[in-house]
Amino acid sequence: MELKQKGSEANVGGFKQLMVTMKWTTAADFDLSAAYETKEGKQGLIYFGELGDLNAFPFMQLSGDEGVGDKGGNNEETMRITKLDDMKYVWILCWDYGKVKDGSAARFKDSDVSLMVIDDKGTAHGVKLDTGDMGNVALIATIDNSSPIGAKLVNASKAGTLKGLKTLDDLMGIIKS
């Protein structure tokens, strides 16, 4: 199922594991990351500086860092999520590392960033970044686990601008705006 437009959604409840894969060939140092908020209100971030853990909280882990130094080619970063029970929201993000460092606009519009979310049943959900907004951080998708019915994957397609990765609050300002 392809979530092409901002606001389109799919149910992803009842899984044992989700695999989130971001691919791009553009010569840019894009980074896959995930911010989260637990049902108790605790917030955190999984990114190249904090890869996470599949066997302990937050039950999310990033594969590593690709495209370093604006390297083009078959770049791919993968994040696995093995448990959503304690999570209220997981926000799947992409940022353009070099542009975040200096606070300038990213190259999303000229890139081929694609996101695929696959559950353990093999159901694949492609999420297309659907924003013309300028910025160097893109919120691509939200996993909304706030309903007792189960989790939903939503194409969020929203961009914002950071100058440096100083605090989680700065990132949350973009997510929740």
Tell me the average pLDDT across 93-101: 86
Answer yes or no: is pLDDT of 45 > 70: yes
Strands of the sheet containing 124-127, edge to edge, are: 2-3, 124-127, 114-119, 18-24, 75-81, 60-62, 52-53
* Among 12-21, 44-53, 132-141, the range of highest mean pLDDT: 44-53
Answer yes or no: is pLDDT of 61 > 90: yes
Determine whether 6 is exposed, middle or buried from the number of CB atoms within 10 Å of its CB (0-12, 13-18, 19+).
Answer: middle
Q: What CATH number does the domain containing 120 carry? A: 2.60.60.30
Q: Which of 81-85, 127-131, 151-155 bottoms out in mean pLDDT, i.e. has the lowest?
A: 127-131
Tell me the average pLDDT across 16-29: 85
70 is in which domain, residue-wise? 2-175
pLDDT in the model for residue 147: 87
Q: How confident is the model at residue 30 (pLDDT cuts 50, 70, 90)?
A: confident
Q: Which of 177, 168, 137 is nearest to 41 (CA)?
A: 168
**E strand residue ranges, the chain:** 2-3, 9-11, 18-24, 30-38, 43-46, 52-53, 60-62, 75-81, 87-96, 114-119, 124-127, 137-144, 152-160
pLDDT in the model for residue 38: 95
Sign of CA dihedral 32, 86, 171, 142: positive
Q: What is the pLDDT of residues 3-15, one digit of tens each?
A: 777 777 777 766 6
Q: Which of 62, 95, 92, 66 is nearest to 79 (CA)?
A: 62
Count of structural domains within the chain: 1
Question: Which tokens go with 68?
Answer: 């370093």
Question: For the whole model, what pTM was predicted?
Answer: 0.86
